Structure 1
Amino acid sequence: MVECAENIGVPRASGMFRHALHAVAFISEEKIATKVKYFKNTFRWTDAEVGMAVSKYPTVLNKSKESLQRKFEFLISEVGLESAYIAHRPVMLGLSLEGRLRPRYYAVKFLNENGLLKCSPSYSTVFTETEKAFKEKFICPHKEAAPHLEEDYDAACKGELPANFRFT
């Protein structure tokens, strides 16, 4: 297992090494190779990008292809991120599409479209912040201008995504 973890690009001294051990514990080298090939073919990642993604987030090897595909397509087609951007921030592929990625994207999109943000934030930061930090930065400051934002965001997190976030 130790050799396999090192072979996927995670050095023993790395803080991610124990995560790499856990990721490869119940997966064969053949399945790892198949997943690497999947990343290269489906996400069009280079060898370096696959290596970076796996070394930063080894658990990506354990995610189902279907789940990865849905999240990747959302991040590319709806959010507008580049494939290489995702490879450098692979933890986004481990987050819940319905419970985190979509609701946060729509909340920030609503704020941008209504001129409530001074500048567009990094989606990597938006998606990976704790729930408390996200609400403090993006929901609470806009309670007066967008009184239904918190309610709409909370509903979206429960899978009840409103057609539009309400502004009045």
Structure 2
Amino acid sequence: MIRRRPLPEARVFLRQILGRGSQEDRADAAAAGSRPFRHFVERLTGGGAAPTSRASSSLAGADSTDAGVGAGGVDPVSLTVHFLRHSCGLSEADAAKAAERARGRIRSTKNAHAVLALLRDTLGMSPATVARLVAVHPAVIKSSTIDAKIDFYLLELGLTAAEVRRFVLASPYRFLNPGLDGRLRPNYRILRDLLGSKENVLAAVKQSIELIYENLDVVLLPKLQALRDYGVTEDVLVKLVITHPKALVHRSSRFHEGLAAMRDFGVSPASGIFPYTFGVFAKIYQSKWDRRLENYLSLGWTEAQVRRAFIRHPYCMSRSDDKVRQLMCFLSEKLGWGPEYVASSPTVFSFSYEKRVLPRYKVLKILLSRGVLKKGIRMGHLTLSEKKFMENYVIRHQDTIPEVLEAYGARTGAVK
């Protein structure tokens, strides 16, 4: 007959299970002291440490579970740092800094993981890009409205994923912070009523994303009324908002300076050129404008010639000083064109020197040397459309003068 070992007293047994007895007692109770039963006994007796929380487990292993915060829970700061490091790819130092800047802490990684999936899968951000975004704007990972806002930008406004990604990275707070129904959709309705179509709204917003998240009652509508009072027609107004909205949402002082300059230049508010002359002028700081003007004057232009060129083609004042100098020196040295002739057709300053002016010059120089061109090289040769130039001066002569195709096909190289 098998003799049964006497059971210890309950108190002794509990001490053994809880590790409070002697070493021999603990050895005898090892088999009985399994982890689940130990927790049961501890809860029954009110002793021992509190059960391990799910949040603690998530910090030690996978961080995709919700983090309950409360008695015996995980410090939200620690959870935030852990998530920023292991899920967002930040270094320990950057994660600590981002956690301090974040308004509030992550109390659940479920939403944070959903945000990361949206950034990666919907907007196509690489892990490095996500890390950069979270480092500068850590509040993004705890946003509960970002999915609805991204849907608005993509589906209602019509931006592409690449465009949304670019705007988010350029200014994450201003792009993602405005309320959907408090700011974004009301602005969209204002722009739709003003511009007449979704396509026009999209074109304007691409030029200046501020149109969709700024307070239009403050930054836009008063200026539109000032333009109407100045005599700008609705068609011209629409064209201005579509092509140069930054001139309307930035720097109120420059806006009024622009109106004064248009009056001084003699540009009619009802003319088709007004949206472009006003738009370009109002976007350029006065100091930059003065520097651009001085650059032209140093090349032998008069102020009257600069004004005339600007009224005909405002973008001649948008080109950098170096680009203007490079092109003007080339036209003067190689073609003998002076400021008076160039000012009469200033669109040439919008052409690429490497891809348009220089290759065409090479072709025309060959044709001139072969006697094909009788009256020399003129401005019209440079302003001619790409299709017409190819037909008239390359394709037409490539069989008899094959050098023209080689000269134009290269599109780069030094002038000989």
CA contact (8 A) 2:335 2:377 kept: no
1:154 aligns with 2:384: no
Residue 347 of structure 2, aligned match among 82, 91, 97 = 91
Q: Where in structure 2 are the equivalents of 1:120-135 lying within 5 Å?
A: 120-122=376-378, 124-135=379-390
Identity among equivalent positions (%) equals 27
- What is the match of residue 275 of structure 2? 18
Residue 296 of structure 2, aligned match among 39, 52, 55 = 39
In angstroms, what is the RMSD of aligned CA positions? 2.1
Consecutive unaligned residues of structure 1, counting only runs of 5 or more, are: none
Give the C-alpha shift of residue 48 in structure 1.
1.8
Larger of the two Rg values belongs to structure: 2
Alignment coverage as a number of residue pairs = 159
- What is the match of residue 71 of structure 1? 327
CA contact (8 A) 2:259 2:278 kept: no
Structure 2 vs 1, CA of residues 35 and 162 (structure 1 numbering), >3 Å: closer, same or farther? closer
Give the C-alpha shift of residue 4 in structure 1.
5.0
SS at match of 2:390: helix
- What is the match of residue 357 of structure 2? 101
Give the C-alpha shift of residue 7 in structure 1.
4.8
Q: Which amino acid aligns with 2:331?
A: L
Give the C-alpha shift of residue 8 in structure 1.
6.5
- Distance across 2 between alignment mates of 1:126 and 1:73: 18
Consecutive unaligned residues of structure 2, counting only runs of 5 or more, are: 1-254
SS at match of 2:401: coil
- Distance across 2 between alignment mates of 1:130 and 1:72: 21
Give the C-alpha shift of residue 37 in structure 1.
2.7
CA contact (8 A) 1:111 1:117 kept: yes
- Distance across 2 between alignment mates of 1:26 and 1:44: 26
Q: Which amino acid aligns with 1:99?
A: K
Q: Deviations over 1:98-147 (max 9, x none)?
A: 1000110111011010112343242x111111110111111122122112
